[in-house]
Structure 1
Amino acid sequence: MFASVTFCLIVVLLFSAAEAENEILNRITNLEKECKAEISKLNSNVRDLQSEVEELKAENKWGKEQLQDLMAATFTTEGKLRPRRQGQDDLVAFFATIRTAQPYLGQGQTIVFDNVITNLGGGYHQTGLFTAPYDGVYVFSVTLVTAFDQSSHASFFKNSEQITVMYFHGNAIHDYDTSTQTIVLDLYRGDIVSIRQTESAKSYHSNDHCLYSGFLLKQKLSTGTVG
């Protein structure tokens, strides 16, 4: 009887030990799964952080480039403040015609386009002179019509320098003759552009037949001049 009880107790103890071992194994297995899931989540977070770091690096690089561009646009290499970029307030453009007759212009006399239609920036004067208000590249165009049965020469001048020559040959055809030129000039602020008569006692057609125009194509920002 005692032996049977002892045997049953041993069986119970062995069963309990196996059950406890299984419980421990299950807990270990669950812990492993939880650890793997947590590690996977941490790896995902790390990848997200790395992606954010790369984005921040890219933004930082872009910011530095923008700052360098801004500094380059604002200051010269000598540290001087650059002029403002060309904007609405910096528009320079003019258009004028010869409304009133100017008979018998003298040699070297400036041709006056007295009817000013457009004068943005105030560079053109009714004396026939255009004064550049900014450093930059300018475009000028002129069309001249001679008086009847006249031949003549006229020229674009930059300050006192003759730039071009226009020729009219009206007396050969006993009619009016016309000439048109368009030029591009690199000017500094204060440079003067004019159209001058290069022969004496010559006339041009009035009543808006002769046209003169110009505009600032591109303002230069590298000279340190205040615009």
Structure 2
Amino acid sequence: MSFALLVAGTTHETPQQVVTRYNNYKAICNGIGFQNVRCKGNAYNNISGIFTAPLDGIYSFTWTMLTKSGKYFVTEIVLNGQKVALNHTDGRGHDGYPMSTSHANIKMKKGDKVWIRTHNTNGQYAHGGWCYFSGAKL
């Protein structure tokens, strides 16, 4: 059972439009919605941005964020609302488009929920189409 996702956004949206839409969404549930689902096992809801474990077990999650020079984007993966791990993508003082990847193996029970959200208020800029979230049951 696995899934692979791309951050909300299309090739026709500017990064600013993606972040604006994300910030509007964040005000509702503080999560990042990855809408372009590539390999879905029906456990990920691309509207809410939440993965719900269909079975007990250990799940392996990876997420990648890309920002741009002068901006930053700090995210965390959460299990049932509790922080598990962080991802800090920092382009301040750098040229180009910095990218960072984080990984977490999480023991889940059937019905547990995992999602990616901004860490506190640390989300200035995420580049649409270059951010990913994937997971698989081990």
Map 1:38-187; keep pairs closer than 5 Å. Answer: 92-100=1-9, 101-103=18-20, 105=23, 106=26, 109-120=30-41, 122-126=42-46, 127-187=48-108
Aligned letter for 2:5?
Answer: A
Aligned length: 124
Deviation at 1:177, TM superposition (A): 1.8
> Deviations along 1:100-140, whole A, 9 cap, x unmatched?
123363587211111011112x1111021100011111111
Deviation at 1:176, TM superposition (A): 2.1
Q: Is the alpha carbon distance of 1:201 and 1:138 closer, same or farther for their aligned partners in structure 2, counting shifts above 3 Å?
A: closer
Deviation at 1:189, TM superposition (A): 0.6
How far apart, in 2, do the equivalents of 1:212 and 1:165 lie?
A: 13
Moved over 3 A (4+): none
Q: Is the alpha carbon distance of 1:128 and 1:147 closer, same or farther for their aligned partners in structure 2, counting shifts above 3 Å?
A: farther
Which has the larger share of strand? Answer: 2
Which one has a bigger Cα radius of gyration?
1
Q: Is the alpha carbon distance of 1:155 and 1:193 closer, same or farther for their aligned partners in structure 2, counting shifts above 3 Å?
A: same
Secondary structure of the corresponding residue to residue 38 of structure 2: strand
Structure 1 length-normalised TM: 0.50
Structure with the larger RCO, 1 or 2 (CA within 8 Å, 6+ apart)? 2
How far apart, in 2, do the equivalents of 1:187 and 1:129 lie?
A: 14
Which has the larger share of helix? Answer: 1
Secondary structure of the corresponding residue to residue 189 of structure 1: coil
Aligned letter for 1:204?
Answer: A
Secondary structure of the corresponding residue to residue 33 of structure 2: coil
Residues 73 and 126 in structure 2, CA contact (< 8 A), matched pair in contact too: no
Residues 93 and 214 in structure 1, CA contact (< 8 A), matched pair in contact too: yes
The Cα RMSD (Å) is 2.0
Secondary structure of the corresponding residue to residue 102 of structure 1: helix
How far apart, in 2, do the equivalents of 1:153 and 1:112 lie?
A: 15
1:205 equivalent to 2:127? Answer yes
Deviation at 1:144, TM superposition (A): 0.8
Q: Is the alpha carbon distance of 1:200 and 1:142 closer, same or farther for their aligned partners in structure 2, counting shifts above 3 Å?
A: closer
Deviation at 1:175, TM superposition (A): 3.3
> Deviations along 1:66-103, whole A, 9 cap, x unmatched?
xxxxxxxxxxxxxxxxxxxxxxxxxx211110251233
Deviation at 1:174, TM superposition (A): 4.2
